[in-house]
Amino acid sequence: MDLRQLRYFIALNEHRSFVRAADAMGITQPAFSRSIQGLEQEFGCVLVDRGNKDLRPTPEGQVVLQHARTLVQGAALLSAEVTQMTKLDAGELHFGCGPAPAVKLVPDAVAQFINAHPKVRTCFQVDNWENLSRALSREEIEFFIADIRHFESDPNFQTQALTPKRGVFFCRPGHPLLAKESLSTNDMFDYPLATTRIPPGIRKLLANLSGRMDFASTIETEHFPALVKIVLQSNAIGVGTEEAFVEDIAQGSLALLHWRNLPQNIESMNARCGIVSRTGFRLSPAAREMIETLVAVDRQEVAVAV
């Protein structure tokens, strides 16, 4: 018994005709029939009810068919996984990223990657760091890009730092706060705050500034373009990393807000962006190549900004 015979038996069940099944598998009908007979001889029983015009499998054939499907599918998955682990001209890559990297860094890196490796199917999930860490633990993705402070001390994760990203507050042109000569953080809480999932450091800072035990934003979404559109059409104040909307600031479609009692480069407002993977798990060649591309693009963008 071999996989070829099992594939033929599956084809016979699908086409219910020796002629049509043989044609579908690209062999002659006599050779196809001999293969099915050889399978029956090996099991020592009849697998196909030839007295039935639909050539339905016998009870023994049903059992063989069930296992044949599992074995053939398993062999295909095995071949695909080995190919993915050894080659960069095939296979799939699954990784994740936070909302801010999804605006520029990740699209730029993916564009470079697929230009070099167009046959690799590349899928990336945009979500907050909590959901991405769960996806990584479930082996749905190989790595993700997010703030690495939540994972540096966890032995289950391995981190690789990228350039830190400056966290800022922003609003639409014409926002009432822009008419004031000096802004206090107290002014901030007179308006809705629109954010992605707030990292613990920023959440603690905002709670302290607002005099609350905890802080939750008025509007929360992991879709950064939607967040920016909300800010542009309301008096909401956005919170995010500057790199995600640097072009909007340069064009004047968004304005930065500076608070006199909040240092501009306060550490807790900055995102220590990096790459997170699982400790002890071997990354595929595609994942390793994508990480190298992300690091290179990150350095290029920093050099251009400087």
* Predicted confidence pLDDT, tens digits, the chain (306 residues): 688 888 888 888 888 889 888 888 888 989 989 988 998 888 899 988 888 788 888 898 889 888 988 888 887 777 766 665 556 666 789 999 999 899 889 999 999 999 999 989 999 999 998 899 999 998 899 999 998 988 988 999 999 999 888 888 999 999 999 999 999 888 999 999 999 888 777 788 888 888 888 888 899 998 888 999 999 999 999 988 887 887 888 889 999 998 888 766 566 677 788 999 999 888 888 999 999 999 999 998 766 555
Q: Which two tokens stand for residue 109?
A: 């890196």
Three-class SS of 143-211: EEEEEHHHCCCCCCEEEEECCCECEEEEECCCCHHHHCCCCCHHHHCCCCEEECCCCHHHHHHHHHHHC
Contact indicator for 74, 7 with CB cutoff of 8 Å: no
Give the pLDDT score at 290: 96
Give the pLDDT score at 209: 82
Nearest to 217 by CA among 196, 186, 201: 196
Give the pLDDT score at 52: 78
Q: Enumerate residues 6+ apart whose C-beta is below 8 A from 13.
A: 57, 61, 65
Give the pLDDT score at 142: 95
Give the pLDDT score at 135: 93
Q: Where are the beta strands (DSSP E) in the chain?
A: 92-97, 121-126, 143-147, 157-161, 167-171, 193-195, 219-220, 237-241, 255-257, 273-278
The pTM of this model reads 0.66
Give the pLDDT score at 241: 85
Cα dist from 243 to 104, 161, 167, whole Å: 8, 16, 9
Contact indicator for 196, 221 with CB cutoff of 8 Å: yes
Q: What's the CA gap between 156 and 245, in Å, rounded?
A: 33
Q: Which two tokens stand for residue 120?
A: 């690799």
Give the pLDDT score at 294: 96
Q: What's the CA gap between 235 and 172, in Å, rounded?
A: 7
Q: Enumerate residues 6+ apart whose C-beta is below 8 A from 74.
A: none
Contact indicator for 91, 80 with CB cutoff of 8 Å: yes
Q: Which residues pair with 239 in a beta bridge?
A: 169, 195
Q: Which two tokens stand for residue 150?
A: 């939540």
Q: In this structure, which long-range contacts are made by residues 108-113, counting pairs with CB atoms below 8 Å and at least 24 apart in sequence?
A: 108/297, 108/301, 109/290, 109/293, 109/294, 109/296, 109/297, 110/290, 112/293, 112/296, 112/297, 113/289, 113/290, 113/293
Give the pLDDT score at 174: 94
Cα dist from 76 to 7, 33, 36, 69, 186, whole Å: 12, 24, 21, 11, 61
> Which residue's entry shows tokens 């020796």?
18
